[in-house]
Structure 1
Amino acid sequence: MKIWYHLTPADTLFFRGAEPLEAGQLSRAALFPPPVTVLQGAIRTAVLKQHGISFAAYNTGNCPEEVTALIGASGQPAPFRVTAVLLARKEVLYAPCPANWFLESNGHAGSDDAPVGCTVLRAMSPTNAADALRLHSSAGGDLPMVRALDPQSLAGFWLRLDCLRTPPTTIASGDLLDGADLYDVEPRTGIAMDGKRKVLQGRLYSAGHVRLRDGVRLVIALDRDPGLADSGLLTLGGEKRVCGYTRIEAPPLPASAAPLYLTLAPVELTADLLPSVFAAAKPVALAGWDLATGFHKPTTTWLPAGTVFNRNINDHCLPLAQ
């Protein structure tokens, strides 16, 4: 996590997975935080614009070698990784809450009241007593367990980044935020167009756009310098929404060894990775449009940020103290 940026959208942001936009159906669903592939594409596009290189030249390989070394060749994966996708509210950074953290349901997680003073529960590998129950699933027998009468998962919530360095036993004011504390989802109605950008009759669709609250910004980290200027503009997500960006100093992060590891960015789920997953929220299917081939990208499955692994799968996960 060497390079960090603040991203400040000028308007709403629009991201979605592989689900189709059905004409005439209303939807408030919104994919957030943004997929890492979308962030990579936005950065690569911004680098091309800053170097005055057209998309046509890039797609045909007519691109300076030094630029290609930074952002990769057209149609090939980006040579840099997005290692963290966080949110900043004023000067406080928030990270996706670890998927193995829970509260008792009477702790009001997900309600309008912040769960201040509630005990944090952490799912761990089963004990000998649990082994006697012979629990088993398609994922095997070593299932994470939490000791609580009615636990509520905190996957999908946002946790103050400082709490990952010194994990709390109870929730203090400002430690834990719901997505609604940081952004709103606005329904938007759009029209479908043909290949010549003419409106198709009767093809109205609805989608959810994300609007960050006042004082809230996206914060991303990369594992290497992509060649961006220290500040500028880039377009992000559907409808090419403009964002200002600024390079910032890296925040302090946990570094000591631990039995579990947390990813701060979505990770593509593969068969080789599956045995290393300790706790995760529901995976997301992604597709998108490939500018190099002019056709849809293959559908891939991604684990959301906040997924916990039993090893450091990519050297960019944070050790998660228990």
Structure 2
Amino acid sequence: MTAFLWNFQPFDTLFIRDGTPFNAGEGGMWGIKSLFPPPITTCQGAIRTALAYGRGWTPGHNELWPEELGGPNDLGVLELRGPFMRREGDLLYEAPLLVLGNRSGQDITFHRLYPLVKKRITCDLNPKQGIVLPGLKEKAPGAQPLTGFWFTKKGIEDVLAGGIPSSQDVFQSNELWDKEGRVGIALNRKKRTAQDSQLYSTFHVRMQRGVSFCVRVEGVPDDWHRQAPPHITFGGEGRVASIKPEPDGGEYLPRMPELETDGGKVRFTVILITPAFFAEQTQEVIRQGPIAWIPGKCISACMGKAVQLGGWDMARGKPRSLQAFLPAGTTWFFEAEEKYGEQIKALHGACLGENTEMGYGQVIIGRLEGVK
């Protein structure tokens, strides 16, 4: 069975609500934000629905639902990766947190963080040995994490090879999509009238021309992908997106560079390209790194704020509970024995943590040089 990249192109705007209740912030016009890129929970719902339509299922006929597509709490035989942004067909990845940017007018200078192993910080996390924080080799006043930035495949490959991206391989979110405020009112469907005191405000997402997003889908026969309808309802408020599945040539991941060894040791970076869920092990991963999945010792890390993700429970008709995920772009710096080289290479494109069939916790492996 071939893996396919499902490309989604909205017909108009999209609305994928976050966990904020509609009555939060009453007395003002805060509005409900839209999550973007859409979480995989939203994507999998659209994908499974489209696949089911292609196999003859229609709403209200649960007996026709293909068992291969699972149920409310599982994906069946499906295995997903993504979603990933695309611009003019090129894949984009969220900026890794080990790259900082320093803006001067319209220009941005990029800097790379390294573990400062000779400048250990004593704190309660490791009172005896201290901890190693990432830092810059050169002074860069005002350098900040590249929140809302996206790297092309070439740009991320430059980072994996131990460098920094060139400016033409970096895009900001506002170059990929815009936010549009909307005001609506609740309707009484029986009376076909508006309900009193039920105004609400939302923020939709409108993608720029030539921009789309895709999900890698694997696990079902090839003809299932081709039998899916050309468009599907996606997200909230009845918005629609076109679907274009295409065979994945195995090039959706950036190339992994050759890792160098020094004194029988190999140093490497582990970068999340999708959010990761570690459940009860989250605290341990934050303190020590994902050592249950990766051989060696975690030297240091660049970690962002946890993101809260939930989704919509179609079976129960209500939102799913929010859970804390480590964000895409999170980077760990590792050191391992040379004998683990093949095991480390096998981690490139693998998923760490829980619910990996959904694509959570996918990582790419890069070179770590210049540690001082």
Q: CA deviation at 1:267?
A: 2.6
Whichever of the two has the greater Rg, that structure is 2
Give 1:169-208 correspondences, 5 Å limit. Answer: 169-193=163-187, 199-208=194-203
Deviations 1:220-279 (A, max 9, x none): 223544843276212211123211122233435224567222232233352324413633
Deviations 1:203-227 (A, max 9, x none): 1111111101111111222354484
Match of 2:112 among 109, 121, 139: 121
Change in 2 beyond 3 A, CA 1:98/1:42: same
CA distance in 1, matches of 2:8, 2:149: 20
Corresponding position of 2:226: 229
Q: Read off the aligned partner of 2:166 and give its amino acid letter.
A: A
The CA RMSD over aligned residues, in Å, is 3.1
User: Is residue 262 of structure 1 aligned with residue 271 of structure 2?
Assistant: yes
Match of 2:240 among 242, 245, 254: 242
User: Is residue 33 of structure 1 aligned with residue 37 of structure 2?
Assistant: yes
Match of 1:86 among 61, 84, 87: 84
Q: Read off the aligned partner of 2:155 and give its amino acid letter.
A: C
Q: Read off the aligned partner of 1:165 and give its amino acid letter.
A: E
Change in 2 beyond 3 A, CA 1:194/1:98: farther
User: Is residue 284 of structure 1 aligned with residue 307 of structure 2?
Assistant: yes
CA distance in 1, matches of 2:18, 2:152: 27
Match of 1:165 among 157, 160, 176: 157
Secondary structure in 1 aligned to 2:321? coil
Deviations 1:98-138 (A, max 9, x none): 122212x3x34xx7x242xx24312x43412x21x315569
Which TM-score applies when normalising by structure 2? 0.71
Corresponding position of 2:343: none
Deviations 1:267-309 (A, max 9, x none): 3352324413633333222334322123432222233332334
Corresponding position of 1:146: 135
Q: Read off the aligned partner of 1:314 and give its amino acid letter.
A: C
CA distance in 1, matches of 2:18, 2:130: 31
Corresponding position of 2:356: none
Change in 2 beyond 3 A, CA 1:26/1:12: same
Deviations 1:176-199 (A, max 9, x none): 111001110000112235796874
Secondary structure in 2 aligned to 1:37? helix
CA distance in 2, matches of 1:141, 1:205: 50
Corresponding position of 2:93: 95
Aligned residues: 304
CA distance in 2, matches of 1:82, 1:144: 34
Match of 1:77 among 74, 77, 82: 74
Which TM-score applies when normalising by structure 1? 0.81
